[in-house]
Structures are given as structure tokens and as C-alpha cells.
Structure 1
Amino acid sequence: MKMTAQEYARRVRRIGPHSPLGLDCLWAFGVGGGICLLGEVLRQSYLAMGVEADLAGTLTSCSLIVLSAVLTTLGWYQKLAAKAGAGSLVPITGFANAVVSAAIEFKAEGRVLGTGAKMFTIAGPVIVYGTLAAVVYGAVLWVLGMAGVPVLS
């Protein structure tokens, strides 16, 4: 049976499940914003305790990483991600979840060859890319500085 693309699309719309794309996007935005709001609440709490601004930012990052790792270990982060979709991929918590998930998955293979080695399957490319990006950005800034172009005031 031959059918046109329009006929196929019509049948898919009629038979396929309805996808609430707008609501899914709104929910993901809310969860991602909630994670960022939690980070800001933590930062403001550290500042209220009298911690310097730079250290407060560092403590906030560390707190979010630890919280994400604990929630991943308990299996709660995966449940959040199943409902929130891309909203749970806020870089700091999403990366911690990815590293801890890989470590948990390969725990049966032992501490060194399982957990120790496999958690870097996610972290390795990120570290390499981050280092390479820093070198490229530094080189660009250096070239611009040598050319007399004002950068970063």
C-alpha cells in the first residue's frame, strides 16, 4: 500500500498518543529554574553566614554536586529526570548525576576497574573538552591582546 507523506502524518496524528509538548516544556523549565533557585538560596545562605562571595559560590557548587550525587545514589534523581526531562540537566547537577550513575552501574565489576574506571567515561570527554576550550579561548584572548584589541575590562 502506497501512501503520501500527508496521509501518513494524518494517520499518525489520529492514532498516536497526544504529546503535551507545551506542558512538558513548561514543566522542564520549572524544574530547571527550581534547581537554579535552590542554588541561589544556598549561595545567599552562605553569604548570610559571612562567607566571602567567591567561597560562597564554590560552596554552592559543592553543595549542589553532593545533593545531586546523594539523590542519584538513592535513585530519586532518575525519578525526577523521568518527569522533568531536560529540566533536570542543569549542568552542575546533571553532570554529577551522570558521573555517579556510571559509577553505580559498574559497581559489580569492582572498585578500581568498575566504579573507578567507568565513572570517567562521562567525565573524561568533559575534562578534555573543557581543557581544550580553555586553551582555545586563552589563545584567542592572547592574539586579540597582542593586536591591541581591548578585551575584558
Structure 2
Amino acid sequence: MSNQKRSSVSNVVNEQDVQKRNQNYNQYVKEITPKFSIAKNTIKAFVVGGIICTIGQGFTNYYMYLGADEELAKSYNTLTLVFLSVLLTGLGIYQKIAKFGGAGTLVPITGFANSVAAPAVEYKKEGQVFGIGCKIFTIAGPVILYGIFSTWLLGLIYYLLKQFGVV
């Protein structure tokens, strides 16, 4: 931490007047909060997400060229994208892409694969069971849980509506 930041933090902590301390804290937060452009981030996310989807479409077309029907080609495409995402996560490349592309890397299935693989890589030093086994679903677990629950709930609503002749 630089001397200027240390002195700024010190001013916030050592101030006795609560109102002045709050003002100092708010000023400190404003100074260290990164500035970003919504338009620039949106464009980067759109481009990176578009590139990922274009690569996925390329894999689908390639598998169909090799003789797979469309449904099988899409399944192979999904497996390929998940594999590549996990591989790039393990090599530390996906995080760099995500830092640049933001939400563009989170929306495709590659983002989900990354969210499962990243904790495994991060916690592998804690061992196979307590590290990888316990932490692998820390990010993806809630997505899986609420995805399954909401699917079940919507399926139940659809079933009830169908039974009463509404749908």
C-alpha cells in the first residue's frame, strides 16, 4: 500500500468526529473505486460473447460436416465448449478473457463451466476432499439448485394449468 493510501486510511480511522469520519470514508471509497464505462463494457461483452457463440456455431457446423445429425452436433459442441472452458480455466487464460469481456464470458455455457472449474483450481492446495470436493460447487451450486427448483416449480404450474384446461 502506498504512503498516500496509508495516510488516507489513517485519516478515516483516526478521525474522532463521526460525521467527518464518514465524509473521509466516502471520499476514500470514491478515490479507490475503479471507474468504468457502461457503453464500453457492453460492447466488450457483446463482442466476446459473440466470438464464443461464433466458435460454438463453428463446432456445430464442423461436427455436422463430419456426419453427425444436428442434435448430436449440438451435443458435441456443448461438450467441446465445456472442455475448452475448463482447460482455459486451468491454464489461467479464461480469467483474463473474463476480465476483458465481463458478462460476455458468463452468459454462454463456458461461463458455467468456468464457475465450476475455478474453485477446483483455487482450492486444490487444500486437498482432493476438503479442497476440490467441498469447494467445487461454491459458485455453481446455487445456480444448479435454483435452476432445478425453478424448473420444477414452472413444470408444476404448467401441469396444473393444463389439468384445469387453461393451457
Determine if the TM-score, normalized by the shorter chain, exceeds 0.5: yes
Task: Return 5+ residue gaps in structure 2 as ranges.
Answer: 1-19, 21-29
Deviations 1:62-96 (A, max 9, x none): 11100000011111111111111221112411111
Is 1:61 aligned to residue 61 of structure 2? no
- CA distance in 2 between counterparts of 1:17 and 1:140 reads 44
Greater Rg by CA: 2
| Secondary structure at 2:166 match in 1 | coil
Matches within 5 A, 1:1-153: 19-150=36-167
In structure 2, do the counterparts of structure 1 residues 18 and 134 end up closer, same or farther at CA, with 3 Å as the change threshold? Answer: closer
Deviations 1:83-133 (A, max 9, x none): 112211124111111111100111011011111211021232222112211
| Secondary structure at 2:134 match in 1 | helix
RMSD: 2.3
What is the TM-score of this pair, normalised by structure 1?
Answer: 0.81
Task: Return 5+ residue gaps in structure 1 as ranges.
Answer: 3-11
Identical amino acids, percent of aligned pairs: 45
88-97 vs 59-68, greater mean Cα deviation: 88-97
| Counterpart contact for 2:45–2:103, Cα < 8 Å | yes
